[in-house]
Homo-oligomer: A and B are copies of this chain.
Amino acid sequence: MWKEAQINIFYLYLAARSTMITVLAGGTGSAKFVRGLSKIVPTDEITIISNVGDNVELLGLYICPDIDTIMYLFAGLLDQRRGWGVANDTFKALNMLREYGFETWFKLGDKDLATHIQRTFLLKQGKTLSEVTEVLCRSLGVRAKIIPSSNSKIETKILTRKGKIHFQEFWVKRKAKDRVLAVIYEGIEQAEPSPGVIESILEADKIFFSPANPVTSIGPIINVPGVKNALIETKATVVAITPIIGKAPVSGPAGKLMKGLGYDVSPLGVAQIYSDLIDVFVLDTVDARLKSKIEQLGIKCIATSTLMANLVDEKRLAREILEHI
- On A, residues with C-beta under 8 Å from B are 59-61, 86, 89-90, 92-97, 99-102, 109-115, 117-118, 120-121, 124, 136, 139-140
- CB neighbours (8 Å) of A92 from chain B are 89-90, 92, 109-111, 114
Taking CB as reference atom, which chain B residue is nearest A75? B99
Closest B residue to A141 by beta carbon equals B99
Chain B positions within 8 Å of A99 at CB level = 114, 139-140
Given contacts A93-B114, A100-B114, A100-B115, 15 further A-B contacts (CB under 8 A): A59-B117, A89-B92, A92-B109, A92-B114, A93-B93, A93-B110, A95-B114, A96-B115, A99-B114, A100-B118, A102-B118, A110-B110, A110-B113, A113-B113, A113-B117
Evaluate contact between A111 and B124: CB separation under 8 angstroms: no
Determine whether the beta carbon of B60 is less than 8 Å from that of A100: no
By a CB distance below 8 angstroms, the chain B residues around A110 are: 90, 92-93, 96, 110, 113
Cα separation A115 to B61 with both chains bound (whole Å): 14
A281 to B113, CA, bound (A): 46
| Best-buried of A86, A93, A115, A140 by chain B (most CB within 10 Å) | A93
CA distance A117 to B102 in the complex (A): 11
User: Would you give the shortest CB distance from A246 to chain B, in whole angstroms?
Assistant: 40
Q: Are B100 and A136 in contact (CB under 8 A)?
A: yes
Top 10 closest A-B pairs, CB basis?
A96-B114, A92-B110, A96-B111, A60-B121, A110-B110, A93-B114, A100-B118, A97-B114, A59-B121, A93-B110
Name the contact of A60 in the complex, choosing from B93, B94, B124 (C-beta under 8 A): B124
Cα distance, A100 to B115, chains bound together (Å): 8
B-side contacts of A136, CB under 8 Å: 100
In the bound assembly, the distance between CA atoms of A61 and B140 in angstroms comes to: 22
Per a CB cutoff under 8 Å, which of B90, B101, B118 touches A90? B90
CB-nearest residue of chain B to A114:
B96
Given A93-B111, A110-B110, A117-B93, do A100 and B59 touch, yes or no (CB 8 Å)? no
Contact check, A114 vs B139: say whether CB atoms are below 8 A apart. Answer: no
Closest to A99 in B: B139
Q: Which residue, A92, A101, A140, has most C-beta atoms of chain B within 10 A? A: A92
Residues on B with beta carbons closer than 8 Å to the beta carbon of A120: 60
Give the complex CA separation of A115 and B112 in angstroms: 17
Docked CA distance A88–B92 (Å)? 10
Residues in chain B near residue A115, CB distance under 8 A: 96, 100
Q: Check A61–B93 contact: CB distance below 8 A.
A: no
Inside 8 A of A90's CB, which chain B residues have their CB?
90, 92, 110
From residue A298, how far is it (CB to closest CB) to chain B in Å? Answer: 47
**CA–CA, A113 to B99, complex, Å?**
13
Find chain B residues with CB under 8 A from A102 CB: 118
Q: What separation, in Å, do the CA atoms of A101 and B118 have in the docked complex? A: 10
CB distance from A113 to the nearest CB of B (A): 5
Task: Indicate if the CB atoms of B93 and A113 lie closer than 8 Å.
Answer: yes
| Whole-angstrom CA separation of A112 from B99 in the bound complex | 12
